[in-house]
A and B are shown apart, each in its own frame.
Chain A
């Protein structure tokens, strides 16, 4: 029988199947960070349990870490306690860990692929919804809660039922100025934040195949914003070339064996999907969110919706609430809206390719007066590479702040936050109320669009600048 990429990875990891269809699913990689793990380790201690596979587990602190000078450690006591707790837990349970001062430290979803820890065909979990990012490698990767973190630490498995298969086919070619971020924002705008509920989304088509790994990670990263459990992209030559030579990837003959296996993973011809969505990449223009849900997306040249034209009362009230929170007027143009802050970073868009795209717009220009613009690389290694390539100099010359790696202003668990009423052009993944700080207003967009907003001081169509 024809199987999808998801079916194949699932089948290869079923340890046991119960009568009602619940499976004991084997987990190949467990990524651990400081926010969602303390209670899991505490649970292990209380039950007298250990970690089953320390050689399949990797830990890093990313959410709470300061992105300014780290010489003096973490000032905020609760953040410090959470990171110190992780340090103690990884020491007690002998789990591999990249310390905050290590160049390999960074956002967990950036460093997994970067280190060759996340590989095709694997099952990968982390107590973090954006684990879907690793699906770009052709692996089944999904976020879990803390109880499941404890479950994986203790058993290296999860109790799960298979998800449904959804195919999103993106045909054609992106036009200049448009990126992977615009594709995924357009998809979420089309299918909504519950469009993928209960499904694993496989992204396919010419426009997806043409993306580099960073772009594929951006797409898979935001699968969760479409409600999907995971996003997947079939591994191909682009994937194999990316993996080869990475520190924890297989080497030599083992690499060849791995590639031979990975080539068997793509969905079979005739594989069935429960749901299919088709988009034309050529029709996508730079996308920006206007509201407080990732589905509140419009092209930069469009006007924000007018609740008066919405027939459904509950929906109308929701639109109005979003407009009020965002400080926007019904039917207004989004382009030209003044921004206070620009954030370039997060597990969605903090890779070297993202920084290059932003730097290309920033080069020779300057951050607009009154705008604060931050660039937060996804890992210490990306930071070093960007410095070597001269990107950091472009950003600094243009008046951007150049920071250390971490989650930063994506969710403001460290000191990088919006203040009430501030409007931010952000390359992150969520525009929920208060996400970047209480009262903060988030517009999601691509790195190039964020740089355009920084240098003009307003939401701007980057195609006018290139």
Chain B
């Protein structure tokens, strides 16, 4: 996973609430066995006409947002399925940070596993950032994860909250599995204890 430290980039506005995972990446594109290459299908139904041509009005199709790395969206972003293809598609397009009033839980967790920083901020602050994003390519936003500060194009700063452990992993690009395996002794002890206390717990064997 790539580290996330500080990002200064163009922010694209997507002023919709409840953007679901089927909108982010429809199920028909989940047949891949890779993590990469999904960016072209990001927001497929919003972004393309039935004949495959682009919808020019959609935010990411506008020249000023084609290289956006931040997305400012409405509440409950990422609701629906657990598909990690949603953050994979965002990442493959180039989005490293999503700012919204709220996120669906599984999507929120999946972002952190892929070097994407989801930031939840109150509705009125998101509206200010949405207005900043509407200014286009000359209005860049800076996200400083270490300091937990967003710097708006006018130089004013907005603090944000982030889970301490997830911040640590993002800042250092850490592999969760490696960290968990440091608890190997505790995991083995847990398994041993349960084998005794809950000996009724069946194993799945002989399938």
Contact = CB atoms under 8 A, between A and B. Distances in A.
Interface stretch (B6-14, B21-29, B59-67, B142-150): B21-29
B152 interface: no
B47 to A, nearest CB: 12
Interface stretch (B90-98, B133-141, B153-161, B172-180): B172-180
Contacts of A198: 105
20 contacts: A16-B183, A26-B191, A39-B84, A47-B177, A57-B204, A63-B30, A82-B33, A96-B207, A128-B82, A142-B106, A143-B81, A145-B82, A146-B35, A156-B191, A157-B183, A194-B76, A194-B79, A229-B105, A250-B200, A434-B45
Interface string A97-116: 11000000000000000001
A15 B104 contact: no
Q: How large is the interface on A (under 10, 10 to 19, 20 to 34, 35 or more residues)?
A: 35 or more
A148 B35 contact: no
Contacts, number: 195
A279 B16 CA distance: 30
Contacts of A142: 106
B113 to A, nearest CB: 4
B176 A81 contact: no
A159 B176 contact: yes
A-B pairs with lowest CB-CB distance, top 7: A147-B113, A96-B207, A143-B82, A55-B203, A38-B33, A145-B84, A78-B31
A266 interface: no
A249 B202 contact: yes
B187 interface: yes
Interface of A: 15-16, 18, 20, 22, 24, 26, 28-29, 35-36, 38-39, 42, 47, 49, 55-58, 63-64, 78-79, 81-82, 85, 96-98, 116-117, 127-129, 131, 142-148, 150-151, 154-157, 159, 161, 193-194, 197-198, 224, 227, 229, 248-250, 254-255, 257-258, 261, 293, 314-315, 318, 411-413, 420, 430, 432-435, 438-439
A52 to B, nearest CB: 8
Nearest to A131: B82
Interface of B: 15-18, 20, 22-23, 26-28, 30-35, 45, 50, 74-76, 79-84, 87, 102, 104-106, 109-110, 113-114, 163-165, 176-177, 179-181, 183, 186-187, 190-191, 194, 198-205, 207
A49 B109 contact: no
Contact of A18 (B84, B165, B194): B165
Contacts of B34: 38-39
Which of A58, A85, A157 has the most B CB atoms < 10 Å from its CB?
A157
Which of B75, B105, B109, B113 has the most A CB atoms < 10 Å from its CB?
B105
A229 B107 CA distance: 11
A147 B207 contact: no
Given A145-B83, A420-B50, 19 more contacts: A24-B180, A24-B186, A26-B190, A38-B33, A39-B34, A151-B177, A155-B180, A194-B18, A194-B75, A194-B79, A224-B80, A227-B104, A248-B202, A250-B200, A255-B200, A261-B198, A413-B27, A430-B80, A434-B45
A16 B186 contact: yes
A161 B163 contact: yes
A56 B82 contact: no
Nearest to B207: A96
A146 B84 contact: yes
Contacts of B163: 20, 22, 161
A133 B106 CA distance: 16
Nearest to B198: A261
A382 B34 CA distance: 34
A197 B105 contact: yes
Contacts of A146: 35, 84
B180 A151 contact: yes
B81 A257 contact: no
Nearest to A85: B33
Nearest to A99: B207
Contact of A412 (B17, B28, B203): B28
A434 B203 CA distance: 40
Nearest to B26: A434
B13 to A, nearest CB: 13
B30 A35 contact: yes
B74 A81 contact: no
Contacts of B75: 194
Given A145-B84, A147-B114, A430-B80, A314 B204 contact: no
Contacts of B109: 144-145, 148
A254 B105 contact: no
A2 B109 CA distance: 29
B84 A36 contact: yes
Given A39-B33, A151-B176, A151-B180, A413 B83 contact: no
A159 B177 CA distance: 9
